[in-house]
Structure 1
Amino acid sequence: MERGLVADLSHRLRTPLTALHLESERLSTLLPTPEAERLDGAISYLESELSSIIKNGARPPPSYRPAPPSGLNWLANRTVNVP
Structure 2
Amino acid sequence: MKPGIHPAYGPVVFRDSASGTAFLTRSTMASDKTIACEDGNTYPLVDVEISSASHPFSTGTARVLDTGGRVERFERRYGAR
TM-score normalised by length of structure 2? 0.29
Structure with the largest fraction of helix: 1
User: Relative contact order: is structure 1 or structure 2 higher (C-alpha 8 Å, sep ≥ 6)?
Assistant: 1
TM-score normalised by length of structure 1? 0.29
Structure index of larger Rg: 1
